[in-house]
């Protein structure tokens, strides 16, 4: 069960026009925050080079800029949308844990991909999601290092904007590509921050089966085209939406890591569900693909890109087939 408390009151009704307006404000906020993220990256690299003479080391600076970015975002949201609620990674970690309600609620990861951020690996971003009536409805992911901005609104599609170029509708392919099996897939996985023996061993066995060649002795091996680790849950979701990744599996993330990416992936034709258990419970029902509060806060996620069906199957059937093959190949693991 999630630590996020639930209530049932709703007083703010949002229209499609409201969401479009909120999206434009959120995009501008992401770009403003991006400048601060770049400033922080430069400060960290400088501190790493001069650490002997500096009071602050890279870890201190990461925390400082995480907090500064979140406070910038919170302040702007409170001024523009005073009745909206706010869930942020840093404030949540510090003990501020507001209930998840039907009210519009921003769900924010100020810097997703902090290990990349520390090392100067240019795959870190700000992730700004909006939850409404307990469902993700809007998402903006901005990587200021590459100047790539992903955005999506429920029912209005999702887009990638590179620099000053016009937005490109996602996925980038004109038609969804087929995916006959995992053996043809590029899959994103992450080791995560939980490195205890039980979790790391389960992931290692799972990764070995996904990558391994059954002909060369790997029992259950799927020999996928490759495994990728971008180091950012939000950017993994965005890359699935784009079509550069076929599937992403995550255990141990939090709602602020995935909220924005869920919307962007769904609006690109992707399908998101939760754990092995959540998939099994919904695969044969109309609830399949509905990211409920339970899935959003469940800390286990799988997202698969839009797929063209084979031999009369629908796109959803094809996605369900791929997820089923995937979950038959990997082990579940606990979250901490």
Active site residue 109: yes
Q: Is residue 171 reached through a cis peptide bond, with omega within 30 degrees of 0 on the bond before it?
A: yes
Contact assessment for residue 173 and residue 308, using Cβ atoms and an 8 Å cutoff? no
- C-alpha of 170 from chain center: 16
Residue 83: Cβ within 10 Å count: 9
Yes or no: say if 161 and 149 are a contact pair by the CB < 8 Å rule.
yes
Nearest to residue 19, comparing CAs of 11, 8, 27, 31?
27
Q: Looking at 109, 190, 250, 267, which residue is catalytic?
A: 109
111 included as an active-site residue = yes
Cα(286)–Cα(316) distance, integer angstroms: 11
* Cβ atoms 141, 259 nearer than 8 A: no
Q: Which of 112, 190, 246, 250 is catalytic?
A: 112
Tell me the DSSP string of 181-199: SGGG-EEE----S---HHH
Among candidate residues 22, 37, 44, 111, the one labeled active-site is: 111
Three-state SS at 179 = coil
Is residue 114 part of the annotated active site? The answer reads yes
CA-to-CA dists, residue 315 to 74, 106, 185, 214, angstroms = 39, 31, 16, 28
Q: Could you tell me how far CA 39 lies from the centroid of its own chain?
A: 23
Within 13 Å of residue 8, how many CA atoms lie on the same side as its CB?
Answer: 0
* 3-class secondary structure, 224: coil
With beta carbons less than 8 A apart as the criterion, state whether 235 and 125 touch. yes
Catalytic choice (66, 70, 89, 250): 89
Q: How far apart are CA 125 and CA 36, in angstroms?
A: 11
Rg (alpha carbons) of the chain, rounded to whole number: 20
Annotated catalytic residue within 257, 262, 267, 322: 257
Query: Which position among 26, 101, 114, 199 bears the catalytic label?
Result: 114
CA distances (Å), origin 295, targets 67, 135, 156, 163, 258: 27, 10, 22, 33, 11
Residues that are catalytic: 89, 109, 111-112, 114, 257
């Amino acid at each position: 069960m999630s630590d996020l408390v639930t209530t049932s009151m709703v007083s703010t009704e949002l229209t499609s026009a409201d969401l479009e307006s909120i999206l434009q404000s959120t995009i501008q906020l992401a770009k403003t925050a991006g400048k601060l993220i770049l400033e922080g990256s430069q400060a960290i690299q400088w501190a790493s080079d001069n650490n002997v003479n500096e009071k602050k080391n890279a870890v201190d600076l990461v925390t400082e800029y995480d907090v500064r970015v979140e406070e910038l975002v919170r302040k702007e949201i409170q001024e523009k949308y005073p009745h909206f609620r706010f869930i942020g990674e840093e404030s949540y970690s510090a003990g501020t844990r507001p209930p998840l309600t039907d009210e519009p609620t921003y769900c924010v990861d100020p810097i997703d991909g902090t290990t990349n951020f520390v090392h100067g690996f240019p795959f870190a971003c700000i992730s700004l999601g909006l939850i409404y009536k307990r469902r993700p409805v809007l998402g903006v992911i901005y990587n200021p290092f590459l100047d790539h901005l992903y955005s999506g609104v429920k029912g209005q599609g999702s887009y990638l904007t590179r620099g000053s170029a016009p937005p490109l509708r996602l996925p980038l392919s004109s038609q969804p590509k087929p995916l006959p099996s995992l053996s043809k897939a590029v899959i994103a996985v992450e080791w995560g921050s939980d490195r205890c023996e039980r979790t790391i061993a389960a992931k290692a066995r799972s990764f070995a089966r996904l990558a391994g060649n059954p002909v060369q002795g790997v029992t259950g091996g799927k020999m996928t085209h490759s495994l990728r680790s971008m180091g950012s849950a939000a950017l993994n979701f965005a890359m699935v939406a784009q079509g550069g990744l076929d599937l992403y599996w995550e255990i141990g993330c939090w709602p602020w890591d995935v909220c924005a990416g869920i919307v962007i992936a769904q609006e690109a034709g992707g399908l998101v569900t939760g754990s092995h258990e959540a998939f099994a419970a919904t695969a044969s029902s109309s609830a399949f693909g509905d990211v409920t509060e339970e899935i959003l806060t469940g800390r286990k996620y799988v997202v698969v890109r839009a797929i063209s069906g084979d031999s009369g199957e629908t796109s959803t059937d094809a996605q369900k087939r791929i997820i089923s093959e995937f979950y038959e190949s990997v082990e579940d693991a606990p979250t901490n």
